[in-house]
Amino acid sequence: MKLVGLQLALQTASLAIVFAGVGRAEDTQSAAVSQQDVQAKMQYCEVCHGVDARGFPGYYPIPRLAGQQAEYLENQLQGFSEGKRQFNIMFNVAHVLSPAMITALATNFGKLNPKPLGGAPTELMAAGKKIFEEGIPDAKVPPCAACHGPEAKGNGQFPRLAGQFYPYVVRQLTIWSKERAENTSDIMAPIARSLSESQIEAVAAYVSYLE
């Protein structure tokens, strides 16, 4: 009986150690990150995404993060980290971020509000505004405003388009079905495929100037 009692005591102690270790790991994973670390990571992001995260005309157009919906940014970073959205550079960035850092980055970028970069052909804006507000009924394309809001500032999982970098919007709408696999793909993929090149450019030009 004493031997059995000793074995039970040892097993209980071992389990306590294991669960304590798990608890510490979870605490470390979910612990709040310091603002200093967040600012350092934001500065790192701005190397590619431009000053104040306004976007940047690199080899591939790099999107504006400033003012973006926090929920959307979190979803995208998680999507890159899990391989649901495929882009090697962003996978390497995202998969090392803790959940707490992802949330902090999304929140802090969402608070930025710099002026748009602009640079899109202004003569396309009228046609883009019409598509954004009214859609294209003949092609069964709904108004962009229905999901992205009347001012294109987004809502939750639907991203802000206002002020987004023009070449980036053009590229994403053009290659949507090839790169993206997040939750909104079922909504956006058929819409993107229904837009002509000129319609894509018009919408992108219009939203790129919105503040």
The SS3 call for residue 177 is helix
- Regarding the domain with residue range 122-208, which homologous superfamily does it belong to in the CATH classification? Cytochrome c-like domain (1.10.760.10)
Same CATH topology for 35-110 and 122-208? yes
Phi, psi of 158 (to 5 degrees): -90, 120
pLDDT of residue 4: 39
Per residue in 176-201, pLDDT tens? 855 554 445 678 889 999 999 999 99
pLDDT of residue 66: 98
Which residues have a Cβ under 8 Å from the Cβ of 193 and sit 6 or more positions away? 176, 177
What topology is assigned to 35-110 in CATH? Answer: Cytochrome Bc1 Complex; Chain D, domain 2 (1.10.760)
- Rounded CA-CA distance 186/170 in Å is 19
pLDDT band for position 50 (cuts 50, 70, 90)? very high
Per residue in 85-130, pLDDT tens? 888 999 999 999 999 999 999 999 999 999 999 999 999 999 999 9
Measure the CA dihedral 21/25/27/33, to 10°: 150
Structure tokens at 111: 């608070």
Q: Are 194 and 98 in contact (CB under 8 A)?
A: no
pLDDT of residue 84: 86
Closest CA to 206 of 173, 178, 180: 173
pLDDT of residue 156: 92
What are the sequence ranges of the domains in the chain?
1-31, 35-110, 122-208
Is residue 49 exposed (0-12), middle (13-18) or buried (19+ Cβ within 10 Å)?
A: buried
Q: Looking at residues 137-158, what average pLDDT do you find?
A: 95
Closest CA to 105 of 158, 39, 30: 39
- Rounded CA-CA distance 122/7 in Å is 79
Average pLDDT, the chain: 85
Per residue in 129-145, pLDDT tens? 999 999 999 999 999 99
pLDDT of residue 15: 35
pLDDT band for position 26 (cuts 50, 70, 90)? very low
Question: DSSP assignment of 133-145, as one string?
Answer: HH-BGGGTBPPTH
